[in-house]
Every structure is written in structure tokens, then in C-alpha cells.
Chains A and B, each alone.
Chain A
Amino acid sequence: MANKGVDGGRGRRPGVVNKQRGNSSQRFYMALALVIVVGAIFIVRAARAPRAIANVTTVPVTAAQAEGYLMGNPNAPVQILEFADFECPACGNFAVITEPDVRNRIVNTGLASYRFFDFPLPMHKNTMAASNAAACAADQGKFWEMHDELFRNQPEWNGESDNKDNPKKVFLGYVKALGMNTDTWEKCFDSQAHQSRILANQAEGVRRNVQSTPTFVIGKRQIPGAMSYDAFKAYVDSAAKEAPVAAKPDSAAPKPAAGSATKGSTK
């Protein structure tokens, strides 16, 4: 038979044992409460902290027009803009975990259009190269496919990877896998043909006072930080209620250059 109250002190009076047990429990619950409070404060502070601050003073304003990369119907009732950095882990998490649902259930159903804007952050070594890689893929109608590859495989090419000094080698693998013309892509990538477009997208983010990545503009609201699908859908539903029945295209997005609105394929 188990000897109950082993820790309580054998041979002592029951009153003493109960008092000791009570004191021990009190200490335990106080310690437990302390750990929970400290942990909760740490986690809440981490969740509220800015994700990554852009160095706004180094962003040149260019003549190129910020157009982003569009997915879906530009005349959809709700316009969604995303300002993201290809090397930012939170952006990668959103792209891999939440964005597939956003595409399938919000964009593909015609509820909203989705426009991606480069917002390369200065502390990320290879993000500008990744933006160029995606922009050159857009020339061949594969922006979103490249976007997905870049976000899904950040550890293969980011500034902390084994390929940190030669991300192009990794990007070329994606170009081949996606069935693009490698010569055309390479010529575009090497000449940084779309650098001004990328900087214009970044400048649009600065103009909108984007402070962290990812940042979303859903209808009239600007929301910093990645979020769950449910939270995202709630913002879209809210924006849809605010939008007129026949929404005017692009009330939130900057005007795209003529003929450029559908750059990038729609998934």
C-alpha cells in the first residue's frame, strides 16, 4: 500500500503534516503563478513588438510607378495589398501557412484582389536579389510561382544560408523547375532590369508609413503583422461591408501602369 504523505513527515502529528502540506502547496502555487506571469508578459511583449523596421532614409524615390504584382480580379469588391520582404521569416510563414487559404477562399472566389509589393529591408542581405528574381519571373508569367518557391525555401538562399554569397545559383534551380526560359531570366536578373520597379514598390510602402513586414492594406485598413486566416477573413468581410456594391476598382491600391495590372499569373 502506498504510504501517503511520505513527503509530509512520518511520525508527526496530522495537524503538523497538513500544515506543512499547506505551506508547500502555497509555495508551489506562488511559484507557478510567478512563472506563468513572467512567461505571459514575455510572450505578449514579443507579439506586440514591431517585426522589422525599414530604414526609410535610404529608400530612393524613383520615377517608376509602384504597381505591385496583382492576383485576381482588379475590380473585386475588396483590394488587398501586401508589403513584404522575401527574406523576412514572418512573411515566409504567412506565405506558406496562411496565404494558400487566402488565395483559395478569398481571391479565387472573387471576394478580393491581392497585390504584392516588394518591401526589401536593409538588414536582409539577399532580399533585393530575391525581389529581382521574382520580378524577372513575372516577365514570363511566373511571379506567383517564384514568390512561392522563394518563401517556401528561404533557408536555401537567405543571408544566413550556405548559398548566402551566391543566391542566384539557387534561384536558377527554381527557374528551371518552373519551366522558365533560363537565358531570358538570367539576362533580366544580371542586368537588374526591374530594380526601379522594386524600389518604386518599396517607396510606396514608405509613403504608406509601413513600419514592419508583412504589412497588409485591406480595404481602408492598414494592418501590420502576419495573422491567421480567420483574422484575415474578418478584415476582408469588414472591408466588403464598407465597399459600395459595385466597388470602384483600386480604391486602396495605387494606380497601376497601363497594361501592367495583371502581371504575374493568377492562381
Chain B
Amino acid sequence: MSRRQTLALLAVVGVCIALYLTLYKIGVIGVLSCSIGSCETVNTSRWSMLLGLPIAAWGLAAYVALLLLAMVGSGEAHESSIPIARTIVALSAWSVLFSAFLTYQELFVIRAICIWCVSSALLWVVIFALSVADLRAVSRAE
């Protein structure tokens, strides 16, 4: 499996997490499965909304964008595309920074941890590392 395909798989995992939290936020899902931490506290805090939308919906949009980029980039015609590699690095770098900010809010402001949010943050770190490796590989091939 190529790096881009692995990125697409990780994006689908992220889509599932973000969709789960978004559906909770809009009331479709009643109770979060949360064996560790206080998911409800985090997901009803003031940091659970941004610009009128659930924060999880922004995450969902980012994962969908990553999925599209990785799928297109996995095709034979674009597998060595540097612009796609750079866009994925930029998207994942921004997501890592934003997730770090949200995790800081969880730990030091809300003082509660949402295991799904932390999982998403860790997922972005893995995606970022993989996207940097992908950029270096396609740059070398160029």
C-alpha cells in the first residue's frame, strides 16, 4: 500500500471520528461512548463551537479534504505530484497546530479530556509525519 493510500485510510478513520462527534453535537447521537475522560464536558463547552458550527464539523471538513487529496494523489497520473504532497503537508500541519491548541484548552481551560478529540489530535500527528515523508519521497523522485 502506498503512502497516499495509507493517508486516505487514516482520513477515513478521521472522518468516522469527526462524524461521530458532529452527530452528537447536533443531537442525532444522544450519549458519547467515553470510557476515559469527560467527552460530554468537552463537547458541550464553549470550545465545541467555532464560527457557528460544531468544531467537529470543521474537523470533518478537514478529513474529507485530506481524503480527496489522498485519493486523487494515489492515482497513477498524480502519484508523484508535488503540489498535492505540499497541500497535504500544509493541511495536516495546520490541523496539528489547531488540535494542539484545542488539547491545551481541554487540559488547562476546560480541565476535561475527550478521548475522541485526543485520538483525532494524535491521528493528525501521524498524518503529518506521513505527509512529510511523502513530500520528501516525491521531491527526491523529481
| Interface residues in chain A, defined as those with a beta carbon under 8 Å from any beta carbon in chain B | 2-7, 21, 24-25, 27-28, 31-32, 35-36, 38-40, 42-43, 46-47, 49-52, 89-90, 92-94, 97-98, 154-155, 158, 160-162, 212, 225-228
Contact at B26–A228, with CB atoms within 8 Å?
yes
Contact of B20 among A21, A25, A46, A98 (CB under 8 A): A46
- Nearest residue (CB) in A for B142 is A2
Contact at B31–A52, with CB atoms within 8 Å?
yes
Given contacts A6-B80, A7-B2, whether A51 and B44 have CB atoms under 8 Å apart is no
Contact of A43 among B23, B111, B137 (CB under 8 A): B23
User: In the complex, which residues of chain B have a beta carbon less than 8 angstroms from the beta carbon of A49?
Assistant: 29-31
Given contacts A42-B20, A155-B46, whether A225 and B5 have CB atoms under 8 Å apart is no
A interface: dominant SS: helix
Contact at A89–B43, with CB atoms within 8 Å?
yes
Within 8 A of A (CB), among B1-52: 1-2, 5, 8-9, 12-13, 15-16, 19-20, 23-33, 38, 40-41, 43-46
User: In the complex, which residues of chain A have a beta carbon less than 8 angstroms from the beta carbon of B138?
Assistant: 2
Write the B100-142 contact mask toward A (1 if CB under 8 angstroms, else 0): 0000000000111000000000000000000000000110011
Given contacts A3-B141, A6-B80, A7-B2, whether A227 and B27 have CB atoms under 8 Å apart is yes
Contact of B16 among A35, A47, A93 (CB under 8 A): A35
Q: 20 pairs across A/B with beta carbons < 8 Å?
A: A2-B138, A2-B141, A2-B142, A4-B79, A25-B5, A28-B2, A31-B1, A31-B9, A32-B8, A32-B9, A38-B16, A40-B16, A43-B16, A43-B19, A49-B31, A52-B30, A89-B44, A155-B110, A160-B38, A226-B26
